[in-house]
Amino acid sequence: MVVFVIFRSVMKHYIIPVFIPHLGCPHQCIFCNQNKITGRQTPVTAEQVAAIIEERLAAITQNRRIEVAFYGGSFTALPEDIQNELLTPATQALRSGRIHAIRLSTRPDCITGPIVDNLTKQEVNIVELGVQSLDDNVLGRSARGHNSQAVADAVRLLKMAGISCGLQLMPGLPGEDWLSLIGTVRQAILLKPDFVRIYPAVVITGTVLAELYSRGDYCPLSLAQAVARSAYMKLVFERQGIAVIRTGLQASEELDSGENVLAGPYHPAFGELVDSHIFYLMMTTFIEQAALHHTTCLFIRHHPQDCSKVRGQHNINLSRLKHRYSLLTVNLHADSAVTRSSLVLEYQGSRYILNKNMIKSI
């Protein structure tokens, strides 16, 4: 019998971002100041979209899956003729084979049958819905202007049209606790999105949330709480086969300057902190299952590219392990034979392979 082994190379993504700050959005969610988050103050024109696409395409030298992505604002809240004007340069690039997909973000209640029909005509492939929470109390307190049913309706319409659909979730909004978050994750799983994006709430200046915070009426998650909740969400979604394409806001000059973030768990490497916490949970799960509290030496192999995540920032994972379990030494060793996101732990002459699926409690 001849066995054929097929190696599939996964082409890396290249996103051409087009930011449309608050353009088209008829609402004012309490956490939103799109100008501060995107760094854009002025509307974008179709000519600018075309110029951005040409400039970025000219700079790509490697084989990439290229997407034009309209971020910020609520794209489908714009009048249809303006949507089509802005989309035209992207649709032309898609039809000529110069890009592979068009992505945009919008509000769930700005997805209707006719809107989806138009997106289909414009050959939009991916829609990200700003959902934030599926708890109606949290949505109400955040002045979202829609409820969780609107999310379910939007997902159904997009899926029926064959448009890939992602949910953007925001743990840490007013009124949310662990129970509410678990409910949101469960409901989101039932909607079967193609992917999710997780970005914990931060207090941006010029927002209603900033006023609430200044009056003492809102307390954001600490960085550690946000990391723990995001790690929980990532683990649960991935176990259900739902990709988590990002955790944490995209770092930008506006956010990193410190002038625009009043409080909350913003960190330029938030995603790395979440992955690092997941490694910590893998190690603690094993140590507790094997009752290794009095062990004096652990030897842990990891993939070279996971080195900083396994250690944690400033070696925090190692010091927490030693402190929590009275372990005298934890030796790490980079080994390209170890699968990424896994660990090989050696202890008393035996080897154990650790992965995310072994984590029982978070």
Are the CB atoms for 248 and 199 separated by under 8 Å? yes
Instruction: Kindly tell me which residue out of 89, 130, 166, 264 binds ligand SF4, with binding defined by CB under 6 A.
Output: 130
Distance CA 59, CA 65 (A): 14
For residues 247, 248, 251, 257, the Cα torsion angle rounded to the nearest 10 degrees is -160
For residues 26, 190, 170, 123, the Cα torsion angle rounded to the nearest 10 degrees is -50
Q: Which stretch binds ligand SF4 (CB under 6 A): 27-35, 52-60, 62-70, 313-321?
A: 27-35
**Cβ-based burial of 39 (10 A; exposed 0-12, middle 13-18, buried ≥19):** middle
Q: Which stretch binds ligand SF4 (CB under 6 A): 7-15, 22-30, 80-88, 187-195?
A: 22-30
Instruction: Kindly tell me which of 25 and 158 has the beta carbon lying closer to ligand SF4.
Output: 25
- The structure tokens listed for 285 are 């799960």
Q: Please count the residues of this chain forming the interface with ligand SF4, following the rule CB under 6 A.
A: 11
Instruction: Kindly tell me which of 74 and 91 has the beta carbon lying closer to ligand SF4.
Output: 74
Distance CA 29, CA 74 (A): 12
β-sheet bridge partners, residue 331: 299
Which residues inside 311-340 make contact with ligand SF4, applying CB under 6 A? none
Which residues inside 60-79 make contact with ligand SF4, applying CB under 6 A? 73-74
Instruction: Kindly tell me which residue out of 16, 18, 20, 25 binds ligand SF4, with binding defined by CB under 6 A.
Output: 25
Cβ count near 360 (within 10 Å)? 9
Are the CB atoms for 232 and 274 separated by under 8 Å? no
Local structure of residue 45 (DSSP, 8 states): P
Does residue 300 touch ligand SF4 according to CB under 6 A?
no
Instruction: Kindly tell me which of 73 and 312 has the beta carbon lying closer to ligand SF4.
Output: 73
Q: Which stretch binds ligand SF4 (CB under 6 A): 24-32, 173-181, 219-227, 294-302?
A: 24-32
Q: Which amino acid is at 182?
A: I
Closest distance of CB 99 from ligand SF4, Å? 25
Does residue 28 touch ligand SF4 according to CB under 6 A?
yes
Distance CA 25, CA 74 (A): 5
Local structure of residue 196 (DSSP, 8 states): E
Instruction: Kindly tell me which residue out of 107, 301, 309, 311 binds ligand SF4, with binding defined by CB under 6 A.
Output: 107
Angle at 56 between CA 54 and CA 58, to 5 degrees: 70
Q: Which stretch binds ligand SF4 (CB under 6 A): 20-28, 90-98, 304-312, 339-347?
A: 20-28
- The structure tokens listed for 158 are 């997009």
- The structure tokens listed for 113 are 């049958």
Closest distance of CB 109 from ligand SF4, Å? 9
Instruction: Kindly tell me which of 130 and 166 has the beta carbon lying closer to ligand SF4.
Output: 130
Cβ within 8 Å of residue 24, ≥6 positions away: 73, 74, 75, 76, 77, 78, 82
Instruction: Kindly tell me which residue out of 16, 32, 131, 278 binds ligand SF4, with binding defined by CB under 6 A.
Output: 32
Does residue 207 touch ligand SF4 according to CB under 6 A?
no
β-sheet bridge partners, residue 69: 17, 103
Does residue 100 touch ligand SF4 according to CB under 6 A?
no
Instruction: Kindly tell me which residue out of 34, 168, 230, 341 binds ligand SF4, with binding defined by CB under 6 A.
Output: 34
Cβ count near 92 (within 10 Å)? 13
Q: Which stretch binds ligand SF4 (CB under 6 A): 23-31, 63-71, 191-199, 307-315?
A: 23-31
Q: Which stretch binds ligand SF4 (CB under 6 A): 28-36, 208-216, 219-227, 280-288?
A: 28-36
Are the CB atoms for 309 and 275 separated by under 8 Å? yes
Q: Which stretch binds ligand SF4 (CB under 6 A): 21-29, 214-222, 269-277, 312-320?
A: 21-29
Residues that bind ligand SF4 (CB under 6 A): 22, 25, 27-29, 32, 34, 73-74, 107, 130
